[in-house]
Structure 1
């Protein structure tokens, strides 16, 4: 088990590593952090995998930035992480924006990607409604206590009510709120704005990696995931009933079972 920083040209990325075996990268969503994968990290390590969990730039404990950061730059960050940990290839598991970055990585550096698990995500941030949402997030993030306030706004859409009202849900919220309270809202807003307008839809057929698309039954993104799976020859779709956007969090056991079913 190891935690520390991956040095880049102008900043550092905080990463947590646990286990030994084939490498798996777990990529969190926008405005979240690597701690979102705590259940899956332990399960994968116990199953014989080397699990690497980064905090994206300006998220969690990673360094802030003073400029927009694009999806292709986030893919470059993944390459740097793999190089740092001396991993030639890895399985990528990404939720929400982490899923978009995973898809982009499979297109831009297929030689470094084994299998993909994409959760409530998609290949584009260019839809007008998506860009409007990101712009609204950026405004909130730049306000006083912006990251904490955005967490409060997104929490009901991120996890289902049963989880939110459980002991585990309350503990998770407390931990996440403490992490958000220390994040630089201006820096996170730069990343939110930088990823807007990205679209890799037309290049998806070039992905040769085996792919599992997981949708939360209570999340609107599930419809997009279902439709996407029908267009990709190496992809299959699985849905977790009752799960919302962060299906790996509010339905952690069901999600982990599906994850191990592909990777195990």
Structure 2
């Protein structure tokens, strides 16, 4: 799997706004686009991809299977519907978006169905999202760690998921950070602002550079072309050890996304 480390997220983007964001991102040089069935914007993402004129093999596209489609007989048909909306023959990465609420569908059933989707050529790679360590173990038992390309989780300076990150690293499973800018909260963080001022960068760039430097992928979203361009520039920003330590110290377990159907999160 050759997933570009910095991608463009599309959470909460709807209609023309989603089309414009993806179009601008592709024009600026993004080559990793992240969407999901529940976002309700796969068709718009597909429209932007089709209009961009970027060769298909140059764009890495991720979508995520919603909880209503995790049963073994539902997952593949739902992914085929996603492909229809995206106007693609296959995605590059398909993820289980959330573990089945209340474990209604066993992790093994969903993972094996996802593996079957890969074997059918519907996706290049498979993975998981919002899986704590206990459920990561179940996913590994079901299909093997080598078949799990990434675990996409909330990860930012205020929620660094260190236990999960250590487990993933030991298992050889990559992490993708969603909500990497803590829904804009990092822009008001004095410690990050000070680093940004000294480096002539933005707080968003500093935060993304911190994530990328740890080896994570990150998928920030924006409706503004200037912000999209600025985020992309984070790839060339290198932080000093003292700067990294200052951001590391911000961890407070400050989770933003935790719906009532969320699994039992790891602490620390």
What TM-score do you get using the length of structure 2 for normalisation?
Answer: 0.32
What TM-score do you get using the length of structure 1 for normalisation?
Answer: 0.33
